[in-house]
Amino acid sequence: MEKILNTAIVCAAGSGIRMGSSVKKQWLPLKDIPIIIHTLKKFFSSSIIQNIIIPAPEEDLDFCQELIAKYFHDSDKPWLVIPGGMERQDSIFAALQYCPPETNLVFIHDAVRPFITEELLDELYEIARTERAVVPVARIKNTVKMIAEDYIIKTVPRENLVQALTPQVFSYELIMSAYEKAYEDGYISTDDSALVEYYGAKVRYQFCSEINLKITDELDLLFAEWIIEHNLIQ
């Protein structure tokens, strides 16, 4: 039987400047536990993830390693903290190069998106096994406007619009090829699936709960605390 090896890349290399805190948001406590630890718990407990790579700010590498070792010292799942890059795309590309060559699927996730579920990981895994690329999405509730200078110039129909979330899941061969081509062409994006789409591959989508939020500011952090207090996520 072929051995399956799936790698999770949990990107913690951001500066978190929108939070307005002297502490980077991935290290901030969420109900007394750092946000990144809430996020990593699902990957450490998931049976479909065999390997975890965490890009982190270069100045915080030791801190990140000590933090993960503290909370997951009893896990035998391999994990590695690596220096992140100047931009998110640089951090992910660096992590892809640390993936074991026998990696089948790569789960690329934001460290400050702590409310994923094992059920979602399983759903994305089953789709990616055949489709090679899948992104979790949520519907847009508000009307979307296009603006220029001081005025609204267009109302954008939202029927076919969704928000792209993470983890985005790809075959290792597909996402590595897309990243290599992107660097050759100088193509930059903050979204991993955009690189795959740019080079002509199809990407499936899977609706998921809007609770899969990204903590970017104080309001998000308050909402995250409320989610935990009311036990809205398992």
* pLDDT tens per residue across span 80-115: 999 999 999 999 999 999 999 999 999 999 999 999
Number of other CB atoms surrounding residue 230 within 10 Å: 8
pLDDT value of residue 15:
72
Closest to 56 (Cα-Cα) out of 25, 101, 31: 25
For residue 207, the cross-strand partners are: 137
pLDDT value of residue 1:
44
**Structure tokens that stand for 29 in this block:** 């406590």
Please state the pTM of the whole predicted model. 0.95
Distance CA 31, CA 140 (A): 29
CB of 63 closer than 8 Å to CB of 69 = no
